A = this chain, B = another copy of it.
């Protein structure tokens, strides 16, 4: 039996396998430290499209197509796709994956979407509701700036606490049977709740999200009676350098020290000093492409055996921001192990 554990966690009876995955990124991400690891790097950030939104849809489409190809599967083999993005009404998803005609369960968790989609995808398989599932998410620097902040042409100055939205998408094919090409396995998860410390600075999303990351991590260790040392890495999505400090400090006050294990995809994906990305990368695509290109590779090579992958989301909209509301956070954690 699958086991509901504590307040917010699940231990799967049988692990769910990540059969394969694929990542595609923009040119800036291709020039970053992980550049050589991505499956595809665009020559520019339009990907042959007329609008940024269409470009982001194309990222999702290509990521899913390539992940299926690498897994040796066709769209008809997939029961459901769990997908979402940052844009209003998940526009990149609606127009990105319709071509595959796979039944769609749309998710929204801001930049925690990769974690949420993997958690739900794994549940759908472990519960016997699906044979195979695809989880996909994306973000695009220019479509996100347009959605949330200023017109790019305005050239506003970015504070050092700001993050740079990753242009990229990654797709993950999940299945119940290991097969020959599986990259890793999902064995457990902790679902996050909305945590709102009242912060209102959309140019410091790391600080807005860190309390949610701390909440989910604390709950995870309570539910599993676990310790940070059980993981080779505890990986947040896009806290960046400011959020990382806040997270480590918040957890220390709870008696939990993750300073040895902590890694943040936003810090890994860019070289902040040379790429002028300030606090780090962000966006749904940030944790997704880092998982596909880097984290799963480390697990495949058994450099790491068990990681806690926890994308973090800032529940921000331009309407709520303009109405003076805070930026609540949410984070969903997935336990991923080497085979």
Contact of A123 among B97, B106, B108, B123 (CB under 8 A): B123
- Is A317 interfacial (CB 8 A cutoff)? yes
- Is A126 interfacial (CB 8 A cutoff)? yes
Within 8 Å CB of A130, what residues of B?
Answer: 4
Task: Please judge, given known A-B contacts A89-B88, A107-B108, A191-B105, whether A129 and B4 are in contact too, CB under 8 Å.
Answer: yes
Within 8 Å CB of A4, what residues of B?
Answer: 79, 128-131
The segment from A66-74, A192-200, A229-237 found at the interface with B is: A192-200
The segment from A161-169, A254-262, A323-331 found at the interface with B is: A323-331
- Is A337 interfacial (CB 8 A cutoff)? no
Q: In the complex, are the beta carbons of A196 and B120 less than 8 A apart?
A: no
A11-42: which have CB < 8 Å to B? none
How distant is the Cα of A90 from the Cα of B316 in the complex, in angstroms? 9
How distant is the Cα of A245 from the Cα of B196 in the complex, in angstroms? 46
- Is A87 interfacial (CB 8 A cutoff)? yes
Sort chain A's interface into a size bin: 35 or more
A19 to chain B, nearest CB (A): 17
Q: In the complex, are the beta carbons of A8 and B103 less than 8 A apart?
A: yes
Task: Please judge, given known A-B contacts A106-B116, A124-B123, A191-B105, whether A196 and B320 are in contact too, CB under 8 Å.
Answer: no
A residues in contact (CB < 8 Å) with B: 1-4, 7-8, 10, 51, 53-54, 76, 79-80, 84, 86-91, 94-95, 97-98, 101-110, 116, 119-120, 123-124, 126-131, 146-147, 191-196, 315-320, 323, 325, 328, 330
Q: Which 9 A-B pairs have the closest CB atoms?
A: A127-B127, A88-B88, A98-B194, A89-B317, A103-B191, A94-B315, A106-B108, A2-B128, A8-B103
12 further contact pairs, Cβ within 8 A, besides A4-B131, A97-B194, A104-B193: A8-B103, A80-B191, A87-B317, A91-B315, A94-B315, A98-B195, A101-B193, A102-B193, A103-B193, A123-B123, A123-B127, A126-B127
